[in-house]
Amino acid sequence: MDKKPFYITTPIYYPSDKLHIGHAYCTTIADSIARYKRLAGYDVFFLTGSDEHGQKIQRKAQEGNVTPIQYVDKIVASFKLLWEKLNISNDDFIRTSEKRHHEVVQHIFQKIYDQGDIYKAAYEGWYCTPCETFWLERQLVDGKCPDCGRPVETLSEESYFFRMSKYQDRLLAFIEANPDFIQPVSRRNEMINFIKGGLEDLCVSRTTFDWGIPVPFDSKHIVYVWFDALVNYITAAGYLNNREKYAKFWPADLHLVGKEIVRFHSIIWPVILMALGEELPQKVYGHGWLVVEGDKMSKSKGNVIDPLALIDEFGADTIRYYLLREITLGMDGNFSRDALINRINADLANDLGNLLHRTLNMIGRFNAGVIEKPGETAPVDQELLNLVQETTAKYAEAMDNIEINSAIKEVWALISRTNKYIDETAPWALAKDPAKKQRLNTVLYNLAETLRIVAILISPFMPNTAPKMWRQLGIEEAFGDITLQDAKCWGGLKEGTKVAKPEPIFPRIEEKAEEIAENPKSKVSAEKVDAPEKSVQADLISIDEFAKMDLRVAKVLAAEKVKGADKLLTLTVDLGTEERTIVSGIAKHYTPEELVGQNVVMIVNLKPAKIRGIESRGLVLAASSEDQLAVVTAPGMKPGSKVK
Ligand code: MSP
């Protein structure tokens, strides 16, 4: 059966400067929707590109003593590099300087002129060059551009005009009859009010510069840059050169744009299409802006964030995840480095990374790395299985409604629940009892199978991570061939699959943690107890604050030195309900053999930290003064006993 087509576009970006994280945000949203639709079985055409003409670009090129095409070639190359590094899966990249586009713009201009909807007249008015926008006197704010606040220039020249006014009523009727055409609804209402205010005919040519597409029958006129730019969406769909493709993909399903250009896409563009007798796009979605500490990004404020530097530092998937998870689509969102690091540590390293690591680690230790055949399903398993199914359904519904961060939240709720499932089923306890082997196999299978499905669901957001997870789970099937159907079918993981050695997929970003572990003085220490009265008074805490610390007895099951770190030991401890790994800076005072079998006291609810690449989950208490150190122990107590 033929796949259903889905055509999605980003705006085409101005190559007047390098792209910043705000532009990367827009393209990442489009990419995750495109990837989701492919997963859901659609034949997707995903388009992005560059909007290269206009006075602003011509001026910039002059300033740099290069020709406009030399100027844009260089910047467009940097766009393409960014999209490659961000793992953007566009099917085409359109440049408005390309011949295929010139031909379409000239063809359309001629056609609309021939039918009488474009006419020549004298233009007197206001123009904002940075925004490439004409304004009426009444639209100016304090005499300046209402969009960017910069000064406008008076224009008085002979121009061609597009009879927008003729289409006003038809456009309004269309928008009212198609409630989903403009989203979110706040933008829709804005547009309705704008149209009701009256559509003026639009000036669609300029004569003061020549970097653009000449009007076919009057070459001293250059086609107005928005008329030129909007047409890119049908050029790339094959309007003139590939009618079969055009019939398949036009009308576009989704034009994803920033909120400030919704007006061009939901008023000027539909009217051009109406004049051409072409169908209107299904949806124009206006997303919000990414701001930095509440402020718009700008060169003059020095707060422009370079996405390439962020990708190099944190990795593409991490940046993609942050942008999609942190910001509610349609609303403005703040970019903050601290929030990014928090997300990496909490959601990626801790929740997802840990789940994968714990699961693979247990399969390695208890079942020699083999995913064994599951046995009977207990109620606790059924609850997990039900949640997996529900999550997939809710995820698909959210993605179909372009509610990306809701979809992500659903998946993370499943990840948290699965981490809890490990604690509830306690595979380490099952592993000790040969009579519980079947039960152990079931639990480990359910964990690995849930992770297989989680990888599929997160693949539109994190396309590098998902196949990495599959590889670690030992799945040989190529990730590229999977569909959403594979997430819906429980049991896809074949028994007998051999998992790989777990490797951290998201390193924790916590430089301070290592310092603390290597310097036990910052833990509960004898020095502190001996400290003068005054500071003891100053450090008073309430009983509630003390109660927040979960102190417990833990039995050391194994201990070994951390390679290349002479102060560190890795301890495996039994907490009664679970086993944990802790990295402790006590190697200068204890040999591993001295510790095995001891009941140490540890803080259980400390945030996990990555130390020398090892995830440390907890902290062993030790008294220390000068060069002496003694681990606090609780001989004879049951592992897991509370220390109060
Ligand atoms: N060339 C036009 C679009 C023509 S589409 C036929 C244009 N280009 S742009 O480079 O200025 O902006 C492209 C997109 O980037 C817009 O959708 C805009 O909203 C988006 N963003 C620019 N800065 C942004 C943020 N700080 N945050 C989110 N998106 C932002 O307009």
pLDDT one-digit tens code per residue, 479-522: 888 999 999 999 999 999 999 999 999 988 864 445 445 544 32
Q: How far apart are CA 606 and CA 614, in angstroms?
A: 15
Nearest CA to ligand 1 atom 17: 258
Where is pLDDT greater, at 540 or 199? 199
Ligand 1, residue 290: give the atom nearest the CA. 27
Residue 601 lies in a domain: yes
Q: What is the pLDDT of residue 512?
A: 46
Return the CATH number at 594: 2.40.50.140
Domain boundary among 448, 470, 488: 488
Check whether residue 444 and residue 369 sit in a common domain.
yes
Using one digit for the tens of pLDDT, what is the confidence trace for 72-122? 999 999 999 999 999 999 999 999 999 999 999 999 999 999 999 999 998
Residue 522, amino acid = S
- Asked if 434 and 360 sit in the same domain, the reply is yes
Which residue's CA is the nearest one to ligand 1's atom 16?
258
Domain that holds residue 609: 514-644
CA 22 to ligand 1 centroid distance, Å: 8
**Res 425: pLDDT:** 97
Higher pLDDT, 538 or 415: 415
Q: Could you tell me the CA-to-CA distances from 420 to 171, 384, 573 in Å, in that order?
A: 53, 10, 19
| Residues 7 and 249 sit within 8 Å (Cβ to Cβ) | yes
Instruction: Kindly report the protein residue whose alpha carbon is nearest to atom 12 of ligand 1.
Output: 13
pLDDT at site 310: 96
pLDDT at 410: 98
**Residue 609 confidence (pLDDT):** 82
Residue 355 lies inside a defined structural domain of this protein: yes
Is the C-beta atom of 174 inside 6 A of ligand 1? no
- What is the per-residue pLDDT for 372? 97
Poorest-pLDDT segment among 13-22, 34-43, 530-539, 597-606 = 530-539
Q: End of a domain among 488, 522, 538?
A: 488
As a whole number of angstroms, the distance between CA 567 and CA 590 comes to 10
* Cβ of 8 below 6 Å from ligand 1: no
Ligand 1 centroid to Cα of residue 141, in Å, is 22
* Cα-Cα end-to-end distance for the chain: 66
465 and 520 in a single domain? The answer is no
Cα distance between residue 21 and residue 169, in whole Å: 39
Quote the pLDDT of residue 562: 84
Instruction: Let me know whether 340 and 444 are in one domain.
Output: yes
The single residue listed with the structure tokens 């499943």 is 414
Q: Give the pLDDT confidence score for residue 522 in this predicted structure.
A: 29
640 has pLDDT over 90: no
Query: Is residue 348 domain-shared with residue 436, that is, in the same domain?
Result: yes
Is 209 a pocket residue for ligand 1 (Cβ < 6 Å)?
no
On the question of pLDDT at 578 being above 60, the answer is: yes
Laid out side by side, the sheet with 202-203 consists of: 133-135, 118-128, 153-162, 202-203
Q: Judging by DSSP bridges, how do beta strands 205-206 and 202-203 pair with one another? A: unpaired
Q: Is the pLDDT of residue 414 over 60?
A: yes
Q: Are 426 and 578 in contact (CB under 8 A)?
A: yes
Per-residue pLDDT, 402: 96
Q: Is residue 524 over pLDDT 50?
A: no
Position 294 confidence tier, pLDDT thresholds 50, 70, 90: confident
Q: How many Å lie between the centroid of ligand 1 and the Cα of residue 30?
A: 13
Q: Which band of pLDDT confidence, cut at 50, 70 and 90, is reported for residue 436?
A: very high
pLDDT at res. 564: 78
The total number of structural domains that make up the chain: 2
Angle among Cα 467, 472, 478 to the nearest 5 degrees reads: 40
- Distance, in Å, from the CA atom of 340 to the CA atom of 310, rounded to the nearest integer, reads 10
Q: Are residues 457 and 401 part of one domain?
A: yes
- C-beta separation of 254 from 155 below 8 A: no
- DSSP state string for 66-122: S-HHHHHHHHHHHHHHHHHHTT---SEEEETTSHHHHHHHHHHHHHHHHTTSEEEEE
**pLDDT at residue 536, rounded to an integer:** 33
Task: Tell me how far apart the alpha carbons of residues 432 and 441 are, in angstroms, rounded to a whole number.
Answer: 13
